[in-house]
C-alpha cells in the first residue's frame, strides 16, 4: 500500500520557528486509514509542536496540512473537529462533575448538532453504549468522571474522542499515568479501532486513522504499523517498527536516552 494513496491526514514541508530556534524544519508526515502511525523522538525533537500544527493550535511558517484532500493549514481547531479530526490531551480534559455516560453523550451531541432531538436520539444512545462496551466503561457508567483514577479517566477521554465519530484520531502521550496492565489494554483497543470498519458519516467505508505521540517505546513498537522519528526538528526516519529499531540514525539520536531496542 502506498501511504500517499491512503493518507487521511498529511503534513508537507512543515517548518515552525520559535524566535531563532527551528523547532520543525520541512517535516513530512502521513497518517493513513486503518493504521496506527507513531511519532517519536528524543525530548525537544518537535513532536508536540507538530501535533499542535496538525490540530490547528499552531500555524507553521512554511508547509501545508491536508485532511481528506482539503488544505486545512489555516483552519481553526473547531473546524478541523467538524471535518473529522479528534484529539486527546496529555493532561486529562473531562467534564469532571458529570458521569462517564454523560461525558460521552455530551461529546456525541457536540459533534452532531441538530441530532439531539427526534431521530438522532436512538443513534446517540446506541453509539454511547457501543463505546462504553468497547472501552469497558459500562460498570462505571454512573460514576462521576472527576473521581476516577487516571487509567479509567484516559479511557473516558478516548471514549469522548470516539463519540465524535472521527476519521482521524490524534493521541498525545495517552499512556502517561497508566500502569502496565492498563497500557496493554489501551494497546489492544487501538489496534481494534483501526481494524474495524467505521460506523460514521465521514469517509464511509474507511477505517479510522490514528496518530500516536508517545514516549513508551514498548507501546509504540507493539501498536504502531508505521513510525516517524523526529530529532532536532527534522524527520530522521520513517518505517515499520523493525526498520526503526534497526536504524543507525535513530539509535544515535536516542543514545543516552530510552533504549529503542
Ligand X SMILES: Nc1ncnc2c1ncn2[C@@H]1O[C@H](COP(=O)(O)OP(=O)(O)OP(=O)(O)O)[C@@H](O)[C@H]1O
Close Cβ partners of 172 (under 8 Å, ≥ 6 residues apart): 48, 51, 87, 88, 89, 90, 213
Positions of E strands within 78-131: 85-87
Residue 41 or 84 having the CB closest to ligand X: 41
Can you give the binding site for ligand X, defined by CB under 6 A?
Answer: 18, 21, 23, 41, 43-49
List the beta bridge partners of residue 87. 170
Residue 46 or 55 having the CB closest to ligand X: 46
Residue 48 or 184 having the CB closest to ligand X: 48
**Structure-block grid coordinates of residue 176:** 502517561
Residue 40 or 260 having the CB closest to Mg ion: 40
Q: How far is the CB of 136 from Mg ion (least distance, A)?
A: 28
Under the binding rule (CB under 5 A), the answer on residue 245 touching Mg ion is no
Q: How far is the CB of 136 from ligand X (least distance, A)?
A: 29
Residue 207 or 233 having the CB closest to Mg ion: 233
Name the one range near Mg ion by CB under 5 A: 39-47, 66-74, 194-202, 247-255: 39-47
Question: Which position has the grid cell 523526529?
Answer: 230
Q: How far is the CB of 251 from ligand X (least distance, A)?
A: 17
Distance between CA 161 and CA 200 in Å, rounded? 13
| Chain centre distance of CA 207 | 14
Residues 135 and 182: beta-carbon distance below 8 Å: no
**Cα maximum dimension of the chain:** 59
Residue 30 or 231 having the CB closest to ligand X: 231
| Sign of the alpha-carbon dihedral angle for 134, 140, 146, 152 | negative
List the beta bridge partners of residue 238. 228
Residue 184 interacting entry, from ligand X, Mg ion, none, C-beta within 5 to 8 Å by type: none
Residue 41 interacting entry, from Mg ion, ligand X, none, C-beta within 5 to 8 Å by type: ligand X
Q: How far is the CB of 143 from Mg ion (least distance, A)?
A: 30
Distance between CA 261 and CA 242 in Å, rounded? 9
Positions of E strands within the chain: 7-18, 21-32, 36-40, 62-67, 70-71, 85-87, 168-172, 209-213, 226-231, 234-239
Residue 45 interacting entry, from Mg ion, ligand X, none, C-beta within 5 to 8 Å by type: ligand X
Q: How far is the CB of 39 from Mg ion (least distance, A)?
A: 10
Name the one range near Mg ion by CB under 5 A: 23-31, 46-54, 232-240, 245-253: 46-54
Question: Which position has the grid cell 493518507?
Answer: 7
Under the binding rule (CB under 5 A), the answer on residue 48 touching Mg ion is yes
Q: How far is the CB of 21 from ligand X (least distance, A)?
A: 6
Binding site for Mg ion (CB under 5 A): 47-48
Amino acid at each position: 500500500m502506498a501511504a500517499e494513496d491512503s493518507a487521511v491526514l498529511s503534513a508537507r514541508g512543515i517548518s515552525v520557528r520559535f524566535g531563532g530556534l527551528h523547532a520543525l524544519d520541512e517535516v513530512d508526515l502521513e497518517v493513513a486509514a486503518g493504521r496506527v502511525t507513531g511519532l517519536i523522538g528524543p525530548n525537544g525533537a518537535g513532536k508536540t509542536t507538530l501535533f499542535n500544527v496538525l490540530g490547528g493550535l499552531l500555524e507553521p511558517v512554511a508547509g501545508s496540512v491536508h485532511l481528506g484532500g482539503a488544505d486545512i493549514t489555516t483552519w481553526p481547531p473547531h473546524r478541523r473537529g467538524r471535518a473529522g479530526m479528534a484529539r486527546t490531551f496529555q493532561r486529562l480534559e473531562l467534564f469532571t462533575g458529570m458521569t462517564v455516560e454523560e461525558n460521552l453523550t455530551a461529546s456525541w451531541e457536540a459533534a452532531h448538532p441538530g441530532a439531539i432531538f427526534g431521530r438522532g436520539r436512538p443513534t446517540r444512545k446506541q453509539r454511547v453504549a457501543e463505546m462504553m462496551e468497547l472501552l469497558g466503561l459500562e460498570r462505571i457508567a454512573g460514576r462521576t468522571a472527576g473521581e476516577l483514577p487516571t487509567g479509567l479517566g484516559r479511557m473516558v477521554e478516548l471514549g469522548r474522542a470516539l463519540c465524535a465519530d472521527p476519521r482521524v484520531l490524534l493521541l498525545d502521550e495517552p499512556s502517561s499515568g497508566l500502569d502496565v496492565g492498563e497500557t496493554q489494554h489501551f494497546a489492544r483497543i487501538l489496534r481494534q479501532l483501526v481494524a474495524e470498519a467505521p460506523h460514521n458519516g465521514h469517509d464511509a467505508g474507511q477505517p479510522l486513522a490514528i496518530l500516536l505521540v508517545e514516549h513508551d517505546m514498548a507501546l509504540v513498537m507493539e501498536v504502531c504499523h508505521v513510525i516517524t522519528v523526529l530529532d532536532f526538528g527534522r524527520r530522521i526516519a520513517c518505517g515499520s517498527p523493525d526498520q526503526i529499531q534497526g536504524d543507525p540514525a535513530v539509535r544515535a539520536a536516542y543514545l543516552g536516552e530510552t533504549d529503542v531496542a
